[in-house]
Amino acid sequence: MKLAARDIERFLDAPPDDLRACLIYGGDAGQVREQAKRIAKTVCPDLDDPFRVATLDGASLSADPARLADEAAAMAFGGGRRVIRLRNVSVDQSRHMADVVKNPPGDALIVVEAGVLRRDAAIVKLFEGAPQAAAIPCYADEGRALLSLLDKALKEANVRLSRDAHAYVVARLGADRGATRMEIEKLVLYAESGGEISIDEAVAAIGDAGASGVDDLVYAVASGDITALHRIFDRLMADGVAPIAIVRSMVMHMTKLRAVASKAETVGLESAIGSVRPPIFFKRKSAFEAQARKWSRPRLSLAIDRLIAVEIELKSTGVSDSLALWRACFDVARAGRARS
C-alpha cells in the first residue's frame, strides 16, 4: 500500500484491521522510532509485554531468515494480536521478508524500522506493493511541520516564547524528532507554567556549543568559507558531534535556500526570504541573504544530491564517517565559492 502524505497521520492512528506489515523509514531516526511505536501500540498498547511483542534486528534476520515467519505465525500466550518489531534492516534484506509480507502466516503486525532508502528501493516497493502492507517515509521536521510540533508542545505546557526566542529555538530543531522533543522538554522545564521565555533564556536552556557549532559549520559550507570549515569541522569532530546530524542540518539549510531561490524568481529575493517559515534567525539573516544571492537553484539541487549521497554512504558502508563527511563538506563549500 502506498500512502499519500496527507493520509499518513490518520493511518498511524487507525491502521486498517487487515494490516500485517508496515515499513517505516527515513533519515530522521527519532521520528522513525516514534512512528513505529505509535502504530505498534494500536495492536499492543504495552510494548514491553514479552508474550505479545518480539523484537528482532537486521543481523538476526540475516542469520535466521525463517524466524520472522515463525514469530509472525506464533499465537500470543493469553490471547491478543502480536507485534513483531524488526529494527535496523538494510535494503538488501527485502528477500528475507518477501514471503511473509506478501503472504502473512498469521494476524501479527510486523513493524519494520529502516534508515534512508530510495523510493524505488526493493524493500520499499515490496511493502507498497503488498495488499496487507504499507510503507511510510519519515522526513526531518522542517517548515510548518516543525512549527506545529513546537507550538503544540508549548501550548500543552502553557509556555510561550518571545519572537526572537522562537526563531532561535526553531533554527536549532528538526534534524531528529527525538532530539527535538528533548530540547522542547528543556525549555518547558526552564520556564514556569504561563511564563514567557526570552531569547537569553532560550540560549541558556538549549544553546549548547554543539548545536551552535553545527550551525557555524552549515553557514561556513554554504558561504564557501573553506578556512572556517577546516577550523569548525575539526572542533566538532573532537567534540564527538555525530556526522549524520551535521549532514541532515546541511540538507535542511540547502533545501531552504533552494526554496528561496525558486520563490525569488517571482516575488524577489527580499520577499522570498521574508516568507521563510520558520523565519531566519536575525543574527544569521545577512549571511543567509548573501548565500541566497550566490547560489543558483540548479547548483543547490546538485549540492543537496551530494549531501543525500553522503548520508546514505554514512549509513551503508564501512568508510570513515569523518572522512566521508569532510569530502562532502569540502565539495559543497568549493561549489559555494563561485558566484552564480
pLDDT tens across 290-328, in order? Answer: 999 999 999 999 999 999 989 888 876 555 688 889 999
Number of domains into which the chain is organized: 3
Domain boundary among 84, 114, 137: 137
The SS3 assignment for 298 reads: helix
Residue 210 pLDDT class (50, 70, 90 cuts) = very low
Q: Name residue 85's beta-bridge partners.
A: 55, 111
Q: What is the separation, in whole angstroms, between the first and last Cα of the chain?
A: 42
The SS3 assignment for 273 reads: helix
Beta strands in 76-148 (DSSP E): 83-89, 109-114, 133-137
Domain boundary among 88, 116, 137: 137
Long-range contacts, stretch 33-36, CB < 8 angstroms, 24+ apart: 33/113, 33/177, 33/178, 34/177, 34/178, 35/136, 35/138, 36/85, 36/111, 36/113
Neighbours of 74 (CB within 10 A): 15
CATH of residue 155's domain is: 1.10.8
Q: Model confidence over 78-91: pLDDT tens digits?
A: 889 999 999 988 87
Residue 192 pLDDT class (50, 70, 90 cuts) = low
Q: Is residue 247 domain-shared with residue 188, that is, in the same domain?
A: no
Q: Is residue 172 domain-shared with residue 122, that is, in the same domain?
A: no
Q: Give the pLDDT confidence score for residue 273 in this predicted structure.
A: 92
Q: Is residue 321 domain-shared with residue 252, that is, in the same domain?
A: yes
Q: Is residue 169 domain-shared with residue 266, that is, in the same domain?
A: no
Neighbours of 37 (CB within 10 A): 15
Q: How many CA atoms lie within 13 A of 300 on its CB side?
A: 23
Q: Is residue 115 domain-shared with residue 213, that is, in the same domain?
A: no
Comparing 33 with 173, the larger pLDDT belongs to 33
> Is the peptide bond preceding residue 131 cis, with omega within 30 degrees of 0?
no
Q: Which domain holds residue 193?
A: 143-206
As a whole number, the mean pLDDT across the chain is 85
Which of the residue ranges 78-82, 102-106, 236-240, 333-337 would you say has the lowest mean pLDDT?
236-240
**119: which residues sit within 8 A by CB, 6+ positions away?**
137
Question: Sign of the C-alpha dihedral, residues 141, 147, 152, 155?
Answer: positive
Please compute the mean of the pLDDT values over residues 69-74 and round it to a whole number.
94
Q: Is residue 201 domain-shared with residue 232, that is, in the same domain?
A: no
Quick check: 136 and 12 in contact, CB under 8 A?
Answer: yes
The DSSP line for 209-236 is HHHHHHHHHHHHHHHT-HHHHHHHHHHH
Residue 234 pLDDT class (50, 70, 90 cuts) = confident
CATH of residue 116's domain is: 3.40.50.300
Q: Is residue 170 domain-shared with residue 217, that is, in the same domain?
A: no
Q: Is residue 215 domain-shared with residue 202, that is, in the same domain?
A: no
Q: Is residue 233 domain-shared with residue 322, that is, in the same domain?
A: yes
Q: Give the pLDDT confidence score for residue 16 in this predicted structure.
A: 94
Q: Is residue 196 domain-shared with residue 222, that is, in the same domain?
A: no
CATH of residue 299's domain is: 1.20.272.10
Q: Is residue 220 domain-shared with residue 193, that is, in the same domain?
A: no
Q: Is residue 148 domain-shared with residue 63, that is, in the same domain?
A: no
Domain boundary among 190, 206, 222: 206
